[in-house]
Amino acid sequence: MPLTSTAAKAASSADGPGQSQAAYIHYLLALRFATDGIKHEALREAAASLRAQREGNPAASLAFQLIAEQRQNIHIRLCCVTANFIGAKFSADGARILTVLDDNTLSVWDAHTGEQTAGLMHHDNEVVAVAWSADGHRVVASLNDGTVHLWGASSGQPLHLPFHTVKPLSHIALSPDGKRVLGSAGGEVYLLDAVTGEVLSPKLTYHDDVNVVALSNDGKHALIGTDDDFAELLDPMTGKRLHRMVHGNAIFSATFSPDSRFVLTSSGDHTAKIWDANTGAQQGRDFTQTGPISDAEFSPDATHILTISHDHTARVWDARTGSALTPLLQHNAPLIDGGFSGDASLVFTRGRDQSMRIWSAVTGEATMLPIHYNSNKNGAEFSPTDSSLLVTDGNTAEILDMPPSDPAPVWLADLAEFTASRSRFSQSATPDLSKIEKMRDDLLASQRDDPWTRFGKWYFSTPDQRTVSPWSKLSLQQYVDQLIALNTKESLIYARQITFEHPAWALKIDAAQKALSSGIPQQQTKREAVR
């Protein structure tokens, strides 16, 4: 396979083009072996790639994933539910996750421990739309019976009695101060008092459906995206129409930049456009793909954008110049959505080919194996602050650690080779154990706190001290105790699944399972579990 344009660029900054080309070929072989499930050979090829070139090499990210999987393939899970997730969204500070299940409940979870912190927030009818307030204090939900519920995000308790709307609101947003609700039903848009449901401005009517409603973080603008081939900026206090932003087809997505200065729209006309939120004027040129663009997202600093298209591809662009920064990011089917990681080093894409993929936002190379999903109720979202990706699939929601964006350390190639030798399928190479012992001692004694050093320390930590995953704040033992304390059939099954190498923990889980099945009160079960 020939070098991509980004790989060719990397060659110019390496010690020589031969080294860069060799690194890329070894990376491609590593990716092929990993895709085919031959992970010990993938690790060896990743090591060879890293020895040829460490700077900007996607083999480092692949090695991170394969090493972490072999050491401890466990993730923090929002445990444990029996209904299916139909939505999940981080709070603006990345500390919590709001989930919507198809049993008509909402919950709020700690994004670092997976503990449920608020909920269950029960509803009598189907939840069709939810939103956080910008300060993370409130959650609003719209139901298919035309009611709107406002909840305290910390308490999980209703803040006011629900109010009724003339029609169910299929899209909804909550003002930063939590006092106003912006919602749409078909082609109608309403601005409502969040407590009483009082209509605060005349209803706006469009010829066709409204696909997007949003409120800026600074509270100065409301944004509407329509099938009428335009998006519109409104005054969120009065509902007055301010600026119209025209495309040549339906608006599929519309969003504010994090600083509220710009609007990004995508359309069935195969383009995405950036607009000034104060004037409504287009900024720069169109971002164009060969099919309708189903989603477009700003990077956290709004310097880059990601476009997601029905033409089976995505792309990262320079938001100011309109230049493409990556090759086309290819799926085997139309794409649904995507987004940037908190540090903008990665993007994810989600497609109708039953996969989510992780790419370098700099080079466009695949950095991890595809995440395949089985349910039509699935989704993904990067944490706005941490190196983690929330993935939902059916009744499972897990927080996956993403690889560091820093250049790979020298020792990563040696660790990849050592990890390859630990596979029961790999008996052809004997590692230099003295070299590995020195690596372990140096890492555990290091005072550095960069991501790769933390990863190395995680790998060499003893099982009773190792955290659930490289970036987790919980030890595995703390996590197992947390699952036991939940004392549900599902939590105990998951606890048993992740403790197969720890007989003492398995005995605690057995005791809890027996007590649960025999009907012993929950508090007594918990006391047994922590002895």
Q: Which are the contacts of 521, defined by CB distance < 8 A and separation ≥ 6?
A: none
d(CA 23, CA 413): 12
> What confidence tens digit (pLDDT) does each residue in 290-329 have?
999 999 999 999 999 999 999 999 999 999 999 999 999 9
Q: Quick check: helix, strand or coil at residue 43? A: helix
Confidence band of 426 (pLDDT split at 50, 70, 90): low
> What confidence tens digit (pLDDT) does each residue in 229-286 have?
999 999 999 999 999 999 999 999 999 999 999 999 999 999 999 999 999 999 999 9
Cα 208 to its chain centre, rounded Å, is 31
DSSP states of 178-238 = S-EEEEEETTEEEEEETTT--B-SPPEE-SS-EEEEEE-TTSS-EEEEETTSEEEEE-TTT
Confidence band of 430 (pLDDT split at 50, 70, 90): confident
Question: By the 8 A CB rule, do 91 and 98 touch?
Answer: yes
pTM score: 0.90
Confidence band of 440 (pLDDT split at 50, 70, 90): very high
> What confidence tens digit (pLDDT) does each residue in 40-62 have?
999 999 999 999 999 999 999 99
Q: Quick check: helix, strand or coil at residue 329? A: strand
pLDDT at 405: 92
What is residue 256's DSSP assignment?
E
Average pLDDT score, the chain: 91
Sheet with 355-360: strands ordered across: 335-340, 346-351, 355-360, 371-372
Cα atoms in the 13 Å half-sphere on the side-chain side of 519? 0
d(CA 424, CA 45): 18
pLDDT at 425: 64
> What confidence tens digit (pLDDT) does each residue in 492-517 have?
999 998 887 788 888 899 999 999 98
Mean pLDDT along residues 192-209: 94
d(CA 395, CA 378): 9
d(CA 262, CA 445): 47
pLDDT at 7: 41
> What confidence tens digit (pLDDT) does each residue in 367-416 have?
999 999 988 889 999 999 988 999 999 999 999 999 999 999 999 999 99
E strands, 203-360, in order: 204-205, 210-215, 222-226, 230-234, 241-246, 251-256, 262-267, 271-276, 282-288, 293-298, 304-309, 313-318, 329-330, 335-340, 346-351, 355-360
Q: Quick check: helix, strand or coil at residue 297? A: strand
Which is it for strands 188-193 and 180-185: parallel, antiparallel or unpaired? antiparallel
